[in-house]
């Protein structure tokens, strides 16, 4: 199965800013879906639904099985594409959450929708700590993704605790608060000066 296509258009006005960002080096923006803040994309797997027991792999061949990981604690999956401006806004905050909460009882996985070799090379240069995973594209259908980024929190019982698309600071903070509550740890949050309140996502075509 070939990777899904994510709509993107060139935009040379994108600030280089922090050269650590792999997305910024691409100088590309995605077309947007126009969803409002605090909404779940139409069709995105919803809270209360049973999450699919997907198996993902890292670039080095190591496999990650959702059913095994969520048996140890909550799993937060973030689906990304390299050409996505909203992913650019989000990924450092994914890394901060991984650093704050990662352990045997919590996992944060970034799932790539790009060509594997290309995406793995960008992430290796980025310096992030969270695992970047891939599959044959079946997770797009299994989670009913329509845009990137999409965030899905899966509980120990296998059901979706929370899900939303795009970059939405309030939704992300609420998701982190839920993780902290389940782990019995202090919550971290993204302040208003650290990231935009909302940035629309990029359309995924299967």
pLDDT in tens, 20-53: 444 444 433 444 343 334 344 458 999 999 999 9
**Alpha carbon of 38 to those of 141, 188, 190: distances in Å?**
22, 19, 15
| pTM of this structure | 0.82
CATH, range 20-205: 3.40.30.10
What percent of the chain has pLDDT above 90? 65
Question: Domain residues of the chain, as ranges?
Answer: 20-205
Nearest 5°: the CA angle 67, 45, 29 is 110
Q: Which pLDDT band holds residue 4 (cuts at 50, 70, 90)?
A: low
The answer to whether 85 and 33 have CB atoms below 8 angstroms apart is: no
**Confidence band, pLDDT 50/70/90 cuts, at residue 3:** low
Q: Are 5 and 115 in contact (CB under 8 A)?
A: no
The whole-number average pLDDT for the span 138-148 is 94
* Dihedral over Cα of 190, 194, 199, 205: its sign: negative
């Amino acid at each position: 199965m070939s990777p899904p296509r994510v709509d993107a258009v060139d935009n040379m006005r994108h600030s280089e800013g922090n050269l650590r960002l792999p997305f910024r080096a691409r100088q590309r923006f995605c077309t947007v879906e126009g969803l409002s803040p605090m909404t779940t994309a139409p069709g995105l797997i919803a809270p209360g639904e049973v999450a699919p027991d997907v198996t993902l792999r890292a670039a080095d061949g190591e496999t990650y099985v959702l059913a095994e990981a969520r048996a140890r604690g909550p799993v937060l999956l973030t689906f990304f594409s390299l050409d996505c401006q909203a992913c650019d806004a989000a990924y450092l905050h994914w890394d901060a959450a991984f650093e704050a909460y990662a352990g045997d009882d919590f996992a944060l996985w970034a799932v790539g929708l790009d060509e594997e070799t290309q995406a793995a090379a960008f992430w290796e240069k980025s310096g992030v700590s969270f695992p970047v995973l891939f599959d044959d594209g079946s997770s797009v259908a299994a989670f009913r993704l329509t845009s990137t980024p999409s965030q899905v929190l899966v509980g120990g019982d296998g059901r979706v605790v929370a899900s939303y698309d795009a970059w939405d600071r309030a939704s992300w903070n609420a998701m982190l608060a839920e993780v902290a509550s389940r782990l019995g740890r202090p919550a971290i949050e993204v302040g208003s000066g650290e990231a935009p309140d909302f940035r629309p996502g990029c359309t995924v075509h299967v």
